[in-house]
Structure 1
Amino acid sequence: MKKLSIYFIMFCALVGQNALAQQPTTLRGKVLDETGLPVAGASISITNTQAATSSNEAGDFTIQYTSPATLRLSALGYVSQTISLTDQTTLSIRLVPTEETLEEVVVVGYGTQRRGEVTSAIASVRSEDFVKGTVRDAAQLVQGKVAGLRITTPNGDPNATTQINLRGLNSINGSQNPLVLIDGVPGNIATVAPEDIESIDVLKDGSAAAIYGTRATGGVVLITTRKNRSAEPRSSIEYNNYANVQTIFRKPEMMDANDYRRLIAEGYAYGDSSNNTNWIDEVLQNPISHNHNLTFFGGSSQTNFTGSLNYRGWEGIMLKTGQERITVRADLNHEMYDGKLRTNIQVINQTLSAKQGGAGGWAWRQAMIRNPTEGIKNADGTWKEGTAYMYDNPLGIIHETVNDQMFRETRFSGSLDYRPIGDLSLKMLVSRVINNNLTGSSTTFQHVNTTKNSLNGTANRSTTANTEDLLELTANYNKVFGDHRLNLLGGYSYQHNVGEFFNVYNFDFPNDDYSYNELEAGAALRRGQATMTSNKDMWKLIGFFGRVNYSWKERYIVTASVRREGSTRFGENNRWGTFPALSAAWNVGNEDFMQSAGFISDLKLRAGFGVTGTIASSPYMSQTSYNFDWQQGAFINGEWVQGFVPARNFNPDLRWEKKEEWNVGLEFGLFNNRLSGALDWYTRNVKDLLYNFAVPTPPFLYGSMMLNAGEMQNSGFEALVNVRAVDNENFKWTTNVAFSTNRNKLVNLSNDQFNVTTEFFDWGHTGEPIQVSTHRVRVGGPIGQFFVLKSVGLDDNGKWLVESRDGETIPIANATPEDRQYYGNGIPKYNLGWNNTLNIQRFDIAVNFRGAFGHQLLNMQRLYYENPVNKAYNVLKTAYDPVYGKQLNNDLVYVSHYIEDADYLKIDNVTLGYTFRPNAIKGISNLRVYASGLNLYTFTGYKGIDPEAVNMGVIGNENFTFSPGIDHRDKYPSTRTFTLGLGVTF
């Protein structure tokens, strides 16, 4: 009986335990999208049970389950998810949008927004719409696809980057470049491999960019890298590679040996050295380049990983030019605490090894002007040189010069995103970017530095190092109540940058075996003729910012933001500035009265105003500076002591340039968005321009001073039109046109303290031997105007006749600088991009056109090489063509004859691809092969090489901002590229 009692008690305990274990758990959850807004109508169920529910307008749901269980969620436009449940009572779930839904999400400052709730001018381009084939950096992916964003390729140098300008020029001494953020961390357009980019968003107007303060006048480019967005457990590998060949886009037609001999027979004083050398062909090669990109995806909805490895091996079309680049990226995401805490760690490491044969443009110049009857080498094997001024053997320059660069950059970033409640997100982002650029160059004993100038070998070594730290704290609150949506953002940003530079140069070496690796061996060091320079700088940027976005019924939307920012680059009286913005939109298409207009699928009006700034180009511009100077010294106690002299004036009032911009836009969609697009009109006024004034000494210590003076204005119109012209199962054709026009004006060049005595400044240069400026920017006039003597004919002796300031025709010998006049403008009035994509069953075809119109170029090759006055140099074949019906016989001068209309329309990219059926090859889920051509043909009346390939903005130590439209003679030749590639997914 006692045993039965014990068994009975044990049985009851087991039954009770089992009954207790089977008690259902109540789960209260919230379903959000990637922007943090609630998802209504999501289907929620417990697998293998009848339990099911859906989320309400606030994204909330309640469901009961018996642990352990599996929760399944699905919603229209989002990837379905499964989540393991083990006694959780609360859960916050963020759904991953499908590829189609992702197109409706726009990346904005410090977050994302639904496209329908965007109130500013923002352009978004996703990876499937990128330019195909070989591209040199991220900017070229969207070339011709964003209205108002002008992206140019200045030359064919594999080590160069594209140049970017958004909505015209906005500064004199400040940066014109947009702020580039890679996953929220500052960088540049070459920071990540183009194959590793998911989308590029451009904040074009002031109301969108103002939240970035003093860095945003040039616009903001937000680059989002590829990530594993699958909500299901998934592992895959993608491999993409291509190989390409390049040819010269267009050769300058210089005279050959036969031309020389014909002219010698006609009595011209050319020399014949009995050879036939095509110097341009001799300095060129037929480069074959290749690119490989390997991407790994893995993980689940809680933990996922993306890793990529990119290798680029590019050769240039000129001998001994090219680069090798390796970029490695790892991105790890993890969720914990039932989705309340999300973490991200990202590392990007890039190593670039570049070579630049000879002096680049100098070697190219020498190849053009070299006598084609001269040989390459002397009988003893040395390079054949000449005695003319600035006349060197280009092959000797290339082969007897070492010019190497090694660039390394490592970017660490991590973030914590915590949601204490479903509507509130608290995020911390930290990053450190470390880069080092090491260059080394040397010339051998066979280089002209030694054979002509007796330097006995030269060597140079320099390094720059930069460390940038970033901390950003943000709070984002999203709330939906009835017909109302509210988003609040607040944040703090701290950026700290330290840069260092060191350079040393020496010459007169005992031999040239060590290149630049034993600099101390040069005898010039012991004689005090070697040079050494170094510097270090530091700057900080601190910002507090906030934004509110309100939407009612997705019809009326208002966005307001403000940033309060301080920078150490400004004077002590103006360290802080405020940058407000306000924009609003009316979704007319969502109004009830529009429902009868069935052909209108989308219609939105928006308007905005925003203030942004331009930061000083370098630190310490507001502070007094002194330099040591050996020439300004004195004998003290019998020894010469170098002087300590002023180099910069104190200006405690130096502040940021301030851009105020108005933008009005219209977005539309017709016939179920078969026809869609956006139109934008804008006006921007840039005040307090940073300008280097001449000041009197005394009372000032130094003769010039960086001040805030002057005002500049830009206004323009932009249009983007998308058309799904054909859309059926077997054939699709989509086309879009991006068009923009811009007008600019320098309003004034003075401030309350200083008035300029001459309301203009000259910019640009022709180089030797002419040595005059090319442009003049005057108050009240547009930027980019050439300022030149206007040529009207030749006299009987072949000398130029020009127009005087009084309109009379005079000999050029009688002309004065006051006779120069404005003639043409180097900035295009109109820019056009026309992009076409066709899908024919499994074939895809992309054809992209780009053009620029309403501008002129100064053809420097014609200016220097279409004049046969100096018989020591080779010239273009056209040099003996009649000019105004006569033979030109004048010294080199800068006249309007060499300024040409430069309108062009370019067949920029043509790509043909074929995608195989999934799993056509076992183990391969996707396989695509393609062929592509880049920079294929240009329709133009311009006589130069490539009307697009001109510099703008700041390149190295040269500022071309206010001298646009100079087609320089020394630029690296433009190329045409043909590519074969494949993409495969395992």
Structure 2
Amino acid sequence: MKRLKIFFAAACLCVVLPAVLQAQDKHTVSGKVLDETGQPIPGAVVMVSGTSRGTSADMDGHYSINASANETLEFSSFGYVSQTVAVGSKSVIDITLKEDSFLLEETVVVGYGTQRKIDLTGAVDQVGSDVFASRPNSNVTQMLEGAIPNLNISLEDGKPIRTAEYNIRGTTSIGQGGSALILIDGVEGDPAYLNPDDIASVTVLKDAASAAIYGSRAPYGVVLITTKNPSKSKIVVNYSNNFTISQPVVKPQYVTDGFTWAEHFYLGYYNYNGSNPTDMNTMMPFNTNWLSEYALRKETGNLGTIISDGSYRVNAGNYAYFGEGTDWFGLLYKDHTFAQTHNFSVSGSSGDFEYYVSGRMYNYYGLYDSKTNTDDCNSQNMRVKVGYQAFPWLKLSNNFEMGHRHYNNPFVSSGAAGNIWAVINGNAPVCMPFYNPDGTMTKAAAYTVGGFLYGNSKNVYETDYIRNTMGFTASFFDKALTINGDATYKLDDYNGMIRLYPDEFSEAPGTVSTKPGLVSSMQKDHSDTKYLAANIYADYTKTFGKHYIKGLIGYNYEQRSKSTLTTYNTDLLSEDVESISLSFGTEKKRATDKWSKWRSVGVFSRLNYSFDDRYLLQFNGRYDGSSKFPSNERWAFFPSLSAGWRITEEPWVKPIGKDVLSNAKLRLSWGTLGNSNVDPYYYDETFSFGNSRLLDGTIYRKTSSPDPIPGNLTWERSTTYDAGVDLGFFNDRLQLVADIYLRKTEDMFTDGPSIQAIYGAESPKGNYAELSTRGFEVLLSWKDGFKLGSKTFNYSVKATLADYVSRIDKFNNDTNFIGGSNTPEYYVGMIIGERWGFECNGLWQSQEDIDVAEAGAAAAGQPHYDSLNQMASNYSLHPGDIKIEDLNGNGYIDRGDQTLDNPGDRRIIGNVEPRFLYSFTLGADWNNFFASIFFQGVGKRDYITGGDSGMIWGQYNRQYNQMPMWQLGNYWTEDNRDAWMPRYSARMSPFYSIQRRANTRYILDASYIRLKNVQFGYTLPEKWVKPLRISRASIFFSGENLWDWSPMYEHVWGTVDVLGLGEDPENSDSTAGSGGCYPIMSSYSFGINITF
């Protein structure tokens, strides 16, 4: 027994002693990881070979790790050659990693994988996560604006929840539209819901050769957003926050003196109508006695609200208003609003398991100045990415994402579809106060700001989404062959509620009223969108001698279904009701639902060939099928071909040296893609049902013959030709990327040829039109550094420029009809965005000149020289009116028959499409300080106001609109003949005889330059944060939309921002004419970023 115990003890000692000795031998090894120029490599991974122990270098390249003398450290970083060093007795190991030319070319994300950068032969742009770092913006879309040339992003307004339209390289299709396909980790998604901190890179595939792998889903380009992957080292925990103060770029500046506004109300109406006004729209009566009394009270300082004795057309006993003036737009907005964002992430690996978990919480506290009903918004996002190396040849992965967003938008119960800007502009006389003497709201307040901010009408929407993608990667033959597969399920759930409750007001003491005919109501909307996708594809790479081949073949399946349900009823039980079950209306109660579904499948392939990394070829092909087309047109094949020539790899160029010419590559590409963006049931005959007349006491259901359907409905096709050049000088410190392109879109889905009225229906739409777009894009950058003191000062400059012009090549318009002044029609030869209008030759300055013109019109048999553009209802011209040129010389102003052959006195006067889009970025870092500045703009763009543009033109639109401050002293009078605006006259909208019809005098130059973003920050020294177990910490300040300038501001200022012209030219639309939408915001933020 004793010998057994001794043997057991000796055995234990043999097992334990080496471990003890090894543990005793462990010591701390530290040092720096640098590149060949001596610059630190942040994030470089330092691993103990053969173990899962590891760390990463900080921003200065410093690392620290525990290791034993007999262990080996492995140093690696993407784009560099890995190195191993035996520890031994060393406690300090500094390492210099060399660039790996092969790995550096692996950094570009493309469709279904990555490609060596040297093999790219198409038009591809990519930006990294730095574009999104430390920005005071929760919306990825707004951060991408201007970052990539010819990625054109249009926003309807500045709401924090707004989803944008992504366009690549200009006008795509006048038929079914042509937004870019947005893929987030390979799955279609909306970037507005994405956490900016999750983004690793954004790649834009611009030409058909690059996007062909996605077939009919991407006829007009692809935006690939790739999120961050798990860290390969130890656990990395990151936390960042952003506290933001925002205010509108432009707060509307309108006349707030009640009497000044009332004077111009009278002047505008009288000059238009030739008589005194009798009412201020629906708000209050008007007569000259009231205006005279107002003037007297203004002079004596006796302004306020009185009880009428029946004078001033105000009923006896009602309130009569002689207010100092109310700034209705000033009441709408807070001085500033606040938002906060909190982001966290945990990433790491353990053995064969890796993970990345992130989350975000965002709160926006609303711009509208109400504590009970402001436009507050909150959202939460979470992402979990995991990977498991099940076998050396098989890796499993899962990418799960979920999010929630809630937005509360006050609603205007008085009408205008809830548009508060239009309602204020049309229903808020400046002379009326907000409250009556007894504390009740005035009619103007209840109809506008009061009901909006303090009423119980609102529009609430909530969205929830989940997405899960399961995938695998199997590698064979030393990773030469990889097989990838993934399956995705995505659910978007939307719930909206519009509750309208009439707001009370008083027009006399002791009385309460609401808007006539308005009853409480509620509408609820619900939709579910379910998306399924599956991909399986194989990738094979082979190098032999000077030949490099990379092939890809795969299969894609997609399916989307959407169901919607809308319920509505009136007569709510109370103003706080949020349930239609507690409403008791019977006449308008309704419930409607819709359902749609489509499927698509595709087989795709890509083949890359390179000889000596010098001559490059790429072929893409995709065979697509879509359920949206008839069976005989359901399938189509879309090929592309591209080639490249790396001139710098030629022996006769190499002597120049990389320090002079480091890269020169020419690229050519051609490709055709299909567009399946049509209604999934358009080729089916559809019947509509309704109720017939009452017959014998019974109401029968009825239907009618379906509308005609097009024959041979098929794919809209776009073919792109692209030529590009990539140049690098001085070891790529100076780089130039330039492309020119032609995109021809054929078989566009538009109106068919005219048919006789006896047919009984309109001609069905079909594949009838063609369009061509020509453009270019240039990116020029410089990156360098120099010693400043003992530290290196690094700086960078980047500039981009892009332009495009689109032309109609085929369209069903036999007469070449050009349309009305603000509603252009398409015709062959038309340049997209062009606008027809009149030639304005200043303002009429004398009655004598007018008389001569009128005499000429009479000699031509016309009653008036200019019956189209005159202000007064009797068509008489006056000094101060605009002077339209008689271009066709017939003696009077006309539109002819509104065709190309006979346009009358109109000509093409401008183009509203943006031209020469540019950006300019400066960046620098030194001694832990970092800074950047980003400008973005449009070099040329005309703007013609819409049909109801009171936000810009004020009382020139309607006499009861608000009056912009810039118009004071800026309209024609006998003493102010050089004014920009004509004599003061109302009712100049397209619904009457307008002066504001498109003409050369009042077309606005909406080109602009904007200071889009400024950042400044400081990374705390390692010695400060290391005792706190923090590997990196930085603080930063960032500003967004801080300044802009536009030639438009020479005339129009303080009412609209040039970026919308419905409150900001970045906005693609406005909800009630020019100037009526949520403003773009200037933002100032402060935050911290900490990595543990």
Where on the TM-score scale, by shorter chain, does this alignment land: which range? 0.7 to 0.9
CA contact (8 A) 1:658 1:687 kept: yes
Match of 2:421 among 333, 355, 364: 364
* Structure 2: distance between partners of 1:711 and 1:115: 35
CA contact (8 A) 2:484 2:538 kept: yes
Specify whether residues 317 and 238 from structure 1 end up closer, same or farther in structure 2 by C-alpha distance, changes over 3 A only. Answer: same
* Equivalent residue, structure 2, for 1:639: 698
Structure 1 letter corresponding to 2:367: I
Specify whether residues 495 and 456 from structure 1 end up closer, same or farther in structure 2 by C-alpha distance, changes over 3 A only. Answer: same
Q: What are the equivalent positions in structure 2 for 1:26-37 lying under 5 Å apart?
A: none
* Equivalent residue, structure 1, for 2:490: 433
CA contact (8 A) 1:474 1:490 kept: yes
Structure 2 letter corresponding to 1:887: R
Specify whether residues 48 and 867 from structure 1 end up closer, same or farther in structure 2 by C-alpha distance, changes over 3 A only. Answer: closer
* Structure 2: distance between partners of 1:203 and 1:411: 24
* Equivalent residue, structure 1, for 2:197: 195
* Structure 1: distance between partners of 2:1032 and 2:102: 19
* Structure 2: distance between partners of 1:305 and 1:358: 44
* Equivalent residue, structure 2, for 1:824: 910
CA contact (8 A) 2:954 2:962 kept: no
* Equivalent residue, structure 2, for 1:254: 254
* Equivalent residue, structure 1, for 2:828: 779
Matched, 1:926 2:975: no
Tell me by how many angstroms 1:132 deviates.
4.5
* Equivalent residue, structure 2, for 1:673: 732
Matched, 1:947 2:1058: yes
CA contact (8 A) 1:317 1:975 kept: no
CA contact (8 A) 1:625 1:649 kept: no
Structure 2 letter corresponding to 1:665: G
Tell which deviates more after alignment, 717-726 or 432-441. 717-726
* Equivalent residue, structure 2, for 1:834: 920
* Structure 1: distance between partners of 2:537 and 2:430: 66
Structure 2 letter corresponding to 1:221: V
Structure 1 letter corresponding to 2:953: Y
Match of 2:797 among 732, 735, 746: 735
Specify whether residues 887 and 265 from structure 1 end up closer, same or farther in structure 2 by C-alpha distance, changes over 3 A only. Answer: closer
* Equivalent residue, structure 1, for 2:569: 506
* Equivalent residue, structure 2, for 1:873: 961
* Structure 2: distance between partners of 1:506 and 1:474: 52
Structure 2 letter corresponding to 1:331: K
Specify whether residues 656 and 453 from structure 1 end up closer, same or farther in structure 2 by C-alpha distance, changes over 3 A only. Answer: farther
* Equivalent residue, structure 1, for 2:431: 373
* Structure 2: distance between partners of 1:902 and 1:538: 42
Structure 2 letter corresponding to 1:895: A
SS in 2 for 1:451: coil
Tell which deviates more after alignment, 319-328 or 683-692. 319-328
Tell me by how many angstroms 1:685 deviates.
0.3
* Equivalent residue, structure 2, for 1:621: 682
Tell me by how many angstroms 1:98 deviates.
9.8
* Structure 2: distance between partners of 1:129 and 1:342: 31
CA contact (8 A) 1:158 1:315 kept: no
Tell which deviates more after alignment, 298-307 or 576-585. 298-307
CA contact (8 A) 1:201 1:223 kept: yes
Matched, 1:289 2:339: yes
CA contact (8 A) 2:215 2:674 kept: yes
* Equivalent residue, structure 1, for 2:526: 463
SS in 1 for 2:1078: coil
* Structure 1: distance between partners of 2:136 and 2:430: 35
* Equivalent residue, structure 1, for 2:1079: 973
Matched, 1:486 2:534: no
Specify whether residues 502 and 262 from structure 1 end up closer, same or farther in structure 2 by C-alpha distance, changes over 3 A only. Answer: closer
Tell which deviates more after alignment, 966-975 or 426-435. 966-975
Matched, 1:396 2:492: no
SS in 2 for 1:781: coil
CA contact (8 A) 1:274 1:374 kept: yes
Tell which deviates more after alignment, 917-926 or 127-136. 127-136
* Equivalent residue, structure 1, for 2:381: 327
CA contact (8 A) 2:230 2:386 kept: no
Tell me by how many angstroms 1:901 deviates.
1.0
* Structure 1: distance between partners of 2:1024 and 2:104: 29
Aligned residues: 883
Matched, 1:337 2:405: no
Tell me by how many angstroms 1:875 deviates.
1.6
* Equivalent residue, structure 2, for 1:235: 235
* Equivalent residue, structure 1, for 2:984: 888
Structure 2 letter corresponding to 1:284: Y
Structure of larger gyration radius: 2
CA contact (8 A) 2:918 2:938 kept: yes
Specify whether residues 108 and 825 from structure 1 end up closer, same or farther in structure 2 by C-alpha distance, changes over 3 A only. Answer: same
Q: What are the equivalent positions in structure 2 for 1:720-799 lying under 5 Å apart?
A: 720-728=779-787, 729-750=791-812, 756-759=813-816, 773-792=822-841, 793-794=843-844, 795-796=877-878, 798-799=880-881
* Equivalent residue, structure 1, for 2:1017: 913
* Structure 1: distance between partners of 2:773 and 2:367: 38
* Structure 1: distance between partners of 2:1072 and 2:666: 40
Q: What are the equivalent positions in structure 2 for 1:896-911 lying under 5 Å apart?
A: 896=999, 897-911=1001-1015
Specify whether residues 835 and 534 from structure 1 end up closer, same or farther in structure 2 by C-alpha distance, changes over 3 A only. Answer: same
| Higher strand proportion (structure 1 or 2) | 1
Tell me by how many angstroms 1:262 deviates.
8.6
Q: What are the equivalent positions in structure 2 for 1:561-572 lying under 5 Å apart?
A: 561-572=620-631
* Structure 2: distance between partners of 1:689 and 1:329: 40
CA contact (8 A) 2:388 2:395 kept: yes
Tell me by how many angstroms 1:587 deviates.
0.8
Specify whether residues 447 and 653 from structure 1 end up closer, same or farther in structure 2 by C-alpha distance, changes over 3 A only. Answer: farther
Specify whether residues 436 and 103 from structure 1 end up closer, same or farther in structure 2 by C-alpha distance, changes over 3 A only. Answer: farther
Gaps of 5+ in 1: 1-6, 8-44, 50-67, 83-94, 751-755, 764-771
* Structure 2: distance between partners of 1:479 and 1:811: 73
Specify whether residues 731 and 927 from structure 1 end up closer, same or farther in structure 2 by C-alpha distance, changes over 3 A only. Answer: same
Q: What are the equivalent positions in structure 2 for 1:67-106 lying under 5 Å apart?
A: 77-78=79-80, 105-106=107-108
Tell which deviates more after alignment, 130-139 or 901-910. 130-139
SS in 2 for 1:190: helix
Tell me by how many angstroms 1:621 deviates.
1.3
CA contact (8 A) 2:419 2:1072 kept: no
Tell me by how many angstroms 1:706 deviates.
2.3
Gaps of 5+ in 2: 1-6, 8-46, 52-69, 85-96, 269-287, 295-320, 506-511, 845-876, 989-993
* Structure 1: distance between partners of 2:514 and 2:383: 48
* Equivalent residue, structure 2, for 1:223: 225
SS in 2 for 1:613: strand
* Equivalent residue, structure 2, for 1:311: 361
Q: Deviations over 1:372-392 (max 9, x none)?
A: 2211133454432159xxx93
Q: Deviations over 1:423-449 (max 9, x none)?
A: 111111100010111001112242699
Q: Deviations over 1:577-622 (max 9, x none)?
A: 1110000111111111111112000111110001122223431111
Specify whether residues 79 and 355 from structure 1 end up closer, same or farther in structure 2 by C-alpha distance, changes over 3 A only. Answer: farther
SS in 2 for 1:888: coil
SS in 2 for 1:378: coil
SS in 2 for 1:139: helix
Tell me by how many angstroms 1:808 deviates.
6.5
Tell me by how many angstroms 1:128 deviates.
2.3
Structure 2 letter corresponding to 1:787: W
Match of 1:274 among 319, 323, 326: 323
* Equivalent residue, structure 1, for 2:616: 557
Tell me by how many angstroms 1:890 deviates.
5.1
Specify whether residues 264 and 573 from structure 1 end up closer, same or farther in structure 2 by C-alpha distance, changes over 3 A only. Answer: closer
Tell which deviates more after alignment, 604-613 or 130-139. 130-139
Q: Deviations over 1:496-553 (max 9, x none)?
A: 1110111112112343231x31x134333x23x2232211000001101111001111
* Structure 1: distance between partners of 2:120 and 2:932: 29
* Structure 1: distance between partners of 2:908 and 2:442: 44
**TM-score calculated relative to the size of structure 2:** 0.75
Specify whether residues 487 and 746 from structure 1 end up closer, same or farther in structure 2 by C-alpha distance, changes over 3 A only. Answer: same
Structure 1 letter corresponding to 2:491: I
Matched, 1:452 2:534: no
Specify whether residues 488 and 538 from structure 1 end up closer, same or farther in structure 2 by C-alpha distance, changes over 3 A only. Answer: same
Match of 1:496 among 529, 542, 559: 559
